[in-house]
Each structure stands twice: as structure tokens, then as C-alpha cells.
Amino acid sequence: MDLLDTHVASLTQLNVPETKRPDFDQFWADTLQRVATTPLDISSTPVTYPVRAMDVHDVTFRALDGTPVKAWVILPAARSGRVPAIVHYHGAGGSRGIPASYAHWTAMGLAVVVMDFRMQAGLTGSHTGFVAHRSLGWMAMGLTDKHQFYLYHVWCDALCALRLAREHAAIDPARIAVDGGSQGGGTALAMAALDQSVALCTADVPSACWMEKRIFDRSGGASHIAQFIQDHPDLLDTVMATVSYCDNLNLAARITCPVLVSCGLKDPVCPPDTVYAAYNKIKAPKEMVAYPFAEHGGGGWLHTERKLAFVQQHFALA
């Protein structure tokens, strides 16, 4: 299909300038130091689960601001020595869900760590009060301060979840993959960029890519940021500076592990041009799977099978 081939070719050539502020690298270096040194105060309770092949633990860890973050740690019941792990990040408005949702990973011999994003559909609240917030949506919380921005806080939570996995006695710290779709896909890309211990990344229809374009187009959750700017046009520069610290356009070049990304070429929520803008910055081994007529569902379970094969290959699973 010539039209489709031409469209994809134009996306692969997209070269959007980064929007980093001068202190970008130091900002994240300081954050990573805090993540590495703040006690997680982990509590873990075994769960009797009907799928006996899954060893399920209900876990709580403390975020940098003291918020208790709920998570599952799910291990294959039959295991010998340390096992590889998937740290999964859920989509916007979701939660860690039920353990059975991750049975395909544990069936392959992997552990799964999955946390609730704060203030969404799970059991995690927030000890942080967000600056300049009204009920627009999560993405509009804390837009006037890079240290108070909602996405910054949940990414700090996500980094803590990675640390939890890395330090778990049953998990091989050299074989940890990050995974997610939409909000979770954007988070997975950011974690691969920020935490060099990540060995593999699978990111589906990722959010938080080329945020200037998403805000201008009012696509998905970025529409809430656009509305905030509409209400407060005098804060445009401040808001765009804040958002730049959590834009995968500015983070993607830091990724060193193999990456598998997917997008829907008809996606109105995380449009393909925004996904490619970040993807094209990745210098590590990478693969993009573009689903021609898919919207925000991307490749669905068909793509899940592709991810299973990708992880099996790179982690040399039997």
C-alpha cells in the first residue's frame, strides 16, 4: 500500500528538536540519588491464590514523599534460583489489577512487579498536595513546579518499584524488563532511560512523547494541560518547562537496552507522530511495530505474543 508506506517513511524520518532545559541531567541525577537512598520500608503479605503456579505477595512500599504505594510481587511457584522479572506499568485510570492478568509472564518463568499509579483506580493515594490544581485530570496536577508535577511523582514511584524488583532476593537483577501501554508505555520508556539496570523495554502506544505536540493537539490526557494553559495563558512558559522534564523526547537518547515499541497509526490518544518523535531518538537496538488501522488499542493480544517472543529471545528463556 503505497500511501501507507509513504506515511510510515515520513514518520521514521521525523527529527524533532529536544526541549531540554539546562539543568535537565542534574535534575534527574539528583532524583536518582534520592531514589537510591530513601528507605522503601517494604511490607509484604503472602496471598493464597487459586492459580497455584503463581506465588503472590501483596506489597506496600514507601514513595519519596512518604506515600504508601500498593503493588503485587508475583513469582513463579516452581523456580530454581533467581528468576528474570517484568516490571509492568498500567494504563491511565487503571490499577495493578488482579494477579491472573500476568499469568502469561509467570508461565514463562518470570516474576512480575506491578504498582498502582497514585490517585487512579487502585489503592494508592498521595501524601503530596499538588500545586495549582483543579479537577482537570492527573496530567494537570502540579504544572507550575517541576518537583510537584504529577508525572514526576509517579515516575519516582516507578523508579522505586524498579528498585524493589532489583533488590528482591528471588529476582535476577541483571534480567529486569519494563513493560506497559499508553501511560504505562510512556513510563516504561522513561524507566529504561533513567535506570541503567533495565535490561529490556517493551512500550506499547506510549504516552509522554513529544508533549508540546500532544498539548497543542489536545490529544488524550494532554488535553488537560492544554485546558490549564487556556485558563492561565500567562503560565505557558512555566508549564512547558515543567513538562519538558518528563518528556520522552528528551529522555529517549539515554536508553541503552533493546527496545520494542508499538503504535497505532490511527491512534488519536497517543498519535503516531509523537511516538516516532521519541522513538527516533533511541540509539540502542530497537524495533517499531506500527499497526496500520489500529487506534489506541495498538496490536492487542497479537502484539502481546510478539512481546512474549521478544522477552523469551533476549532473556534466553527455555
| Alpha-carbon gap, residue 170 to 172, rounded angstroms | 7
End-to-end, the C-alpha distance of the chain in Å comes to 38
pLDDT interval class at 138 (50, 70, 90): confident
Question: What is the residue whose three cell numbers read 519494563?
Answer: 178
1 pLDDT exceeds 60? yes
Backbone angles phi, psi at 10, to 5 degrees: -65, -35
Provide, rounded to the nearest whole percent, the portion of the chain with pLDDT above 90.
93
**What whole-number distance in Å separates Cα of residue 263 and Cα of residue 40?**
34
**Pairing verdict, β 54-62 and 111-115:** unpaired
Q: What is the pLDDT of residues 285-303, one digit of tens each?
A: 999 999 999 999 999 999 9
- The pLDDT assigned to 235 comes to 96
Residue 76 near residue 51, CB atoms below 8 Å: no
Residue whose C-alpha cell reads 533467581 in the numeric block: 82
Distance between CA atoms of residues 252 and 279, nearest Å = 7
pLDDT above 70: residue 232: yes
Lowest model confidence (mean pLDDT) among 55-64, 112-121, 137-146: 137-146
User: pLDDT digits over 276-285, tens only?
Assistant: 999 999 999 9
Task: Concatenate the DSSP letters of all residues of 106-168 into one string.
Answer: HTTT-EEEEEPPTTSSSS---SPPPTT--TT-GGGTTTT-TTT-HHHHHHHHHHHHHHHHHH-
pLDDT above 90: residue 134:
no
Give per-residue pLDDT as tens, 235-258.
Answer: 999 999 999 999 999 999 999 999
Mean pLDDT of 86-113: 97
Question: Which pLDDT score is estimated for 317?
Answer: 86
Quote the pLDDT of residue 130. 79
The residues near 204 (Cβ < 8 Å, ≥ 6 apart) are: 180, 181, 182, 184, 185, 261, 262, 298, 299, 303, 307
With cut-offs at 50, 70 and 90, classify the pLDDT of residue 316: confident
